Amino acid sequence: MEKQLSPDEKLEALWQGVLEKKDPQGNPLQFQSPEAEKAYKERVQRFRDAIEMKKLPDRVPVTVFPSMFPWTSAGMTVEEAMYNYDKCAEVFQKFVLEFEPDVHWGAYAPGPGKFFEILDYKLYSWPGHGVAPEHSYQCNEGEYMKPEEYDDLIQDPTGYFIHLYLPRVFGALGGFQMLPFFPGILEMYGLALSFIPFGLPPVQSTFQALFEAGAEALKWVGPIGGTDGVLATLGFPNILGGFTKAPFDVIGDTLRGTKGIMLDLYRRPDKLLKAMEVLTPLMIKMGIGSAQSTGNPLIFIPLHKGADGFLSDEQFKKFYWPTLKEVILGLIEGGCVPLPALEGFWNTRLEVVQDVPKGKTLWMVDQSDMVQAKKTLGQNACLLGNVPSSLLNLGTPQDVRDYVKNLIETVGKDGGLIVCNGAFFDDAKPENVKAMVDAAKEFGVYA
């Protein structure tokens, strides 16, 4: 019988996999120089030490976690970055080599434009499809799940996604509505009846679109995924394993929409709670699954509708936090390092979310008060942030330098800090971004 690995052993295996990185053929990665190999391992270790809070890293790690900045700053439009995969990859490599962050997060942000076209994706508008060429894609908020559909989602989330949700957000997947009820495929008698939909034109054209979309995704992931390999040989690790979401945001962002979920708190609170309970293990599975397939431990969790001002304390504690906490603990159990991002202000939530096991998570902080964050959440978790977008955009390199210096002095003294931008950004002065990285390296050395 195979031995069950403990959570710590699973995590250790992932970190070891990052350190002893393999090339796509499964052979040990050939670094471009012994210096690159040394830098790679030091950078991974620096991040890991900061996250685990057991011993001080050699210095405060620093990273840049941008949205479209690598491409816009290179004079490329977002549209080009989404449609020219080779150039997208090439520009990203230059960005990492120029700014030299300790870790990077891959060139995945733009995504393959053609792929979204094939699927007729409706959830987002992107350049050429509702957004100007130079702007980033943006979500089209809406009520993609109707209030009376909670029971369908609760009974069979996967079936709900296939039959109802996906055809609504992908124009090309209308044929999914006609697919058979899969758990009904059981015995020989009558079996062929279940397969009739696959013979019908709408289903066949949906599958045709899926084949094309899959082929396009492969075409894209070659250069984009290859970038991670090239950058690793040059000494720059990417330790991002994938992403997942807080169950409240799953429903509030892209199923019921902000208004829908806020009304559900009053009109159908029990259904909402039940649906989140059903989604929780799926969100854990999603994170662990992508960490296993990429071999990287960090699982990003963008947090939206729990921010200050959205819910009362009581509502936050009842509706938002319990299932998010379960997702965080489930990911840790699966050997991952959850990376929740506190987008916007979360000052009133810090005392609640500090209830996580020490040294097992990393939290991206945007505009919350960092001193307060350090006193609460920061006692148990490493904080990543929080150089403001407005400063990177409109300030001077000296302003940024001062900000980073102050950040390190006030909250980075005893470790548990990684310097980074606080929010995802498309636009900034490159010299300010450079100043952020350089300042962390200059002021962040631990004696």
Least CB distance to other proteins at residue 424 (A): 9
Least CB distance to other proteins at residue 438 (A): 21
| Torsion angle (degrees, nearest 10) of CA 28, 29, 33, 35 | -90
Task: Specify the residue, 18 or 261, whose C-beta has the smaller distance to other proteins.
Answer: 261
Alpha-carbon span 40 to 46, nearest angstrom? 10
Residue 208, Cβ density class (10 Å: 0-12 exposed, 13-18 middle, ≥19 buried):
middle
Task: Specify the residue, 350 or 356, whose C-beta has the smaller distance to other proteins.
Answer: 350
Cα distances (Å, whole numbers) of residue 384 to 45, 93, 197, 361: 16, 23, 50, 11
Distance of CA 428 to the CA centre of its chain: 21
Applying CB under 8 A, the residues found at the interface with other proteins are 125, 130-132, 135-136, 138, 140-141, 258-259, 262-263, 265-267, 309-312, 315, 344, 367, 388-391, 393-395, 423, 425-428
Task: Specify the residue, 10 or 401, whose C-beta has the smaller distance to other proteins.
Answer: 401
Alpha-carbon span 95 to 134, nearest angstrom? 18
Cα distances (Å, whole numbers) of residue 346 to 139, 164, 252, 295, 370: 22, 34, 18, 31, 10
Least CB distance to other proteins at residue 58 (A): 32
Least CB distance to other proteins at residue 366 (A): 8
Task: Specify the residue, 187 or 270, whose C-beta has the smaller distance to other proteins.
Answer: 270
Alpha-carbon span 107 to 224, nearest angstrom? 6
**DSSP-derived 3-state class of residue 342:** strand
Task: Specify the residue, 75 or 199, whose C-beta has the smaller distance to other proteins.
Answer: 75
Least CB distance to other proteins at residue 42 (A): 32
Q: Please give the angle made by the CA atoms of 116, 118 and 122, to the nearest 5 degrees.
A: 50
Nearest to 72 by CA among 392, 438, 399, 402: 392
Token duo for residue 72: 């816009």
Give the orientation angle of helix 247-254 with respect to helix 257-267, to 10 degrees: 120
Nearest to 333 by CA among 303, 291, 381, 301: 291
**91 φ, ψ (degrees, to nearest 5):** -65, -35
Least CB distance to other proteins at residue 386 (A): 12
H or E element: which one contains 407?
Answer: helix 397-411
Task: Specify the residue, 260 or 412, whose C-beta has the smaller distance to other proteins.
Answer: 260
Task: Specify the residue, 138 or 398, whose C-beta has the smaller distance to other proteins.
Answer: 138
Least CB distance to other proteins at residue 74 (A): 17
Task: Specify the residue, 136 or 280, whose C-beta has the smaller distance to other proteins.
Answer: 136
Task: Specify the residue, 275 or 356, whose C-beta has the smaller distance to other proteins.
Answer: 275
Q: Please give the angle made by the CA atoms of 388, 390 and 394, to the nearest 5 degrees.
A: 130
Least CB distance to other proteins at residue 7 (A): 36
Pair 243, 301: CB distance under 8 Å: yes
First to last CA, the chain: 48
Task: Specify the residue, 285 or 318, whose C-beta has the smaller distance to other proteins.
Answer: 318
Alpha-carbon span 418 to 437, nearest angstrom? 11
Least CB distance to other proteins at residue 342 (A): 14
Q: Please give the angle made by the CA atoms of 213, 142 and 153, to the nearest 5 degrees.
A: 75
Least CB distance to other proteins at residue 135 (A): 5
Least CB distance to other proteins at residue 125 (A): 7
Task: Specify the residue, 340 or 395, whose C-beta has the smaller distance to other proteins.
Answer: 395
